Amino acid sequence: MSLGILGRNAAFSVAQVGISAVLLFALYRVLIHFITIADVGLWSLVMASTSVARLSEMGLGGGVVRFVAADLGRGDGRKAAVTIGMSLALVTGMILLASALLYPIFQIGLEKALPQEMLPNGLVLLRYAVASLVLTTIANVFLSALDGMQRMDLRATTQLGGSIVQLVAALVLVPAHGVLGLGPVQIITACFTLVVAAVIAIRQIRQPLAAWWTWDRKRARELVKYGGGLQVAAVGQLLFDPTVKVLLTYFGGLAFTGYYEMANRMMLQFRSMIVSAYNALVPFVAGRLETSSDRHGDVRRVYIQSFRFLFVTAFAYYGVIGAALPFVLTLWLGHFEPAFLAIATLCWLGWWANTMVGPSYFLYLAVGRLRWAVTAQLTIGVLNLIFAWALGLAFGGAGVLIGSALGLALGGGVTLIAFHLEHHISLRDCIPFEALPLASAMLVGATACIAFAIHLTAPTLIQFAAGPALVGIVAAAMLWHQPVYRALWTRMRAILPRSAS
C-alpha cells in the first residue's frame, strides 16, 4: 500500500475520465445529429426515473470497497472473496425483486410526466432502462471489488472500454432507430462492463471457487450495517438528479431537460477528473489504517495535504473550464445557444462548490464514519427539493437549476464543516494563502469569458477561443510557482524510481 500504488490508481482514474470525456462529447454529438434535444431529454428522464430501484442495493457496492481493502491489507484474500461473493448474491436478488415490483410504478410515473406524443417511446425505453439498471448494479459489485484491490487502473480500463462500446453501438443503432436505439445501446454497454469486470476481478483475487460461495454471517452483518449508512446517503442522491429532471420537465419542458442532461453530464465528467483521484484515498487509507498506530493523526495529515492540493488545483481547473464553456458548448452543439450556456454555467458553479468537500467526504468513507457523509447527501437532496421547487414556481426552469446549484453548494458543506470541527482544523491550516492571487485571477477570467459570450450578437468559435487560451496560460504560469505543486513534484521524483524498480 505504497504512495506509488496510490499515484498509479489516481493517474489511471484521471486518464480514464479524460478519455471518457472525449468519447462522451462524441456520443452526444452523434445523438443531437440524429435525434432532437427533446429526445435526449426523454431518455434522460426515463433513466433517472428508474434509478430509485438502486435503493435495493443497500449500499453494498460501497461496502465492498472498504472491506475488501481492509481484508487485503491484512493479507486475507479468502475473506475478500467471501465479501465479494456475498455482496454479489445479495445485490442480484434485491435489484431483481425491486425492479419487478417497481416497474408498474415507473409506468404510471411516465404517464403522468410525459406529453402524450412522447409517451409510447418513453414506455418502450423504460423496459431497456430497467434491464440496464439491473446489469449495471450487478457490475458495480465487481467494479467496487477492483477499487478495494487498489486496481483502479483495471477499473478505469474496463469503464473506458464500455465508453468505446457505447459510442460504437450508438453510431450503428441510433441512425437506424432514432431515440429507441438508445435502449439497446445501453444494454450492450452494460453487458460488456459486467462481463469484463467480473472476469478481471475473479482473476485478480485468485481464490478457490468455494470461497466465493461461502456465507460469513458476521461479515454479512458488517456489510449491511456499513452499506445501510451509504444507502441512506443514496436517498439524498435520488432526491437530487431525478428530482431536478422531473421538475425541469414540468417547469421547462423536455428540451430544457435535454440541455441540462448534456451540460450536467459534461460537468460531472470534468468534476470526475479531480474526484476520481481523491476516490483513490478510500481503499488506500482503509488499508493503511489497519496497521496504523496513530489513526487520528494520519487522517488529519492526509486531509490537510490533500485539501491544500485540491484548493490550488480546483481553482485553476474550474477557472479554465468556466472560461472554455462558450467555446466547448458551441463546438458541441454546432451553434451558440444562450440557454445552453446559462444551464451549463449554473452546473459549473454548483459542482465546483461541491468538489471542494471531496477530501472530507472520502476520508469519512475510508475510516467507516458515515454519519456526516450521509447527513451531507440527505441535506443536498432535501435542500435541492425545497429550493428547486420554490424557485421553479417563481422563475421556471432557470429557477430549478439555481435551486439545485444552491443545494449542492450548501448541502455538501456539511462534511467539510464537521470534519474541521472534529479534527480541530482551521482554515489557516489547509488553505494555501499564497494561492489566493491564482484563485482571484481564475474567477475574474472565467466570469469575463462567460459575460463576453452572452453580450455578443453573432458569436463565432474563433471569438470564443481566445479567452480560455489566455486563462489557461495564466493558470499554468501561476501553478508553476505554487509551493504545493513544487512539493508534489519533488515527492513524485522520489517515488517513481522506487516504483519502477
Residue partners of 361: CB distance under 8 A and separation at least 6: 373, 376, 412, 415
Q: What pLDDT does residue 295 have?
A: 67
Judge contact between 100 and 17, C-beta under 8 A.
no
User: What pLDDT, on the 0 to 100 scale, is given for residue 492?
Assistant: 46
Here the cell at position 487 is 512539493
Residue 28 to residues 19, 45, 194, 337, Cα–Cα distance (Å): 15, 16, 23, 16
Spatial neighbors of 242 by CB under 8 A, at least 6 apart, are 48, 49, 51, 52
Which cell numbers in the block locate residue 208? Answer: 478457490
CA dihedral 283, 236, 325, 434 (to 10 degrees): -60
Closest among 349, 302, 299 to 322, alpha carbons compared: 349
Predicted confidence at residue 499, as pLDDT, reads: 40
Q: What is the pLDDT of residue 1?
A: 45
Separation between Cα atoms, residue 297 and residue 327, nearest integer Å:
45
DSSP per residue, 12-79: HHHHHHHHHHHHHHHHHHHHHHHS-HHHHHHHHHHHHHHGGGGGGGTTHHHHHHHHHHHHHHTT-HHH
Closest CA to 67 of 3, 149, 155, 158: 149
CA angle 470, 476, 478 (to 5 degrees): 100
The pLDDT averaged over each successive group of 10 residues in the chain (501 residues) is 57 73 89 91 87 66 77 81 87 88 90 88 93 91 86 85 95 94 95 94 83 80 72 69 88 90 90 74 60 70 83 91 94 89 93 88 76 84 91 92 91 89 85 88 94 82 88 89 68 45 36
Nearest to 308 by CA among 431, 433, 438: 431
Closest C-alpha among 454, 258, 444 to residue 341: 454
Q: Which residue's C-alpha cell is 458543506?
A: 413
pTM (predicted TM-score)? 0.77
Residue 5 grid coordinates: 500504488
CA–CA distance, 162 with 137 (Å, rounded to integer): 15
Longest dimension (CA), the chain: 68
Task: Give residue 54's pLDDT.
Answer: 67
Query: Do residues 255 and 58 lie in contact, with contact meaning Cβ atoms separated by under 8 Å?
Result: no
From CA 394, how far away is CA 403, in angstroms rounded?
A: 11
Q: How far apart are CA 388 and CA 241, in angstroms?
A: 11
Residue 173: predicted pLDDT: 96
Residue 501: per-residue pLDDT = 36
* Sign, Cα dihedral of 463, 467, 470, 472: negative
pLDDT score, position 479 = 84
Determine the pLDDT at residue 333. Answer: 87
Query: What is the predicted pLDDT for the residue at 498?
Result: 45
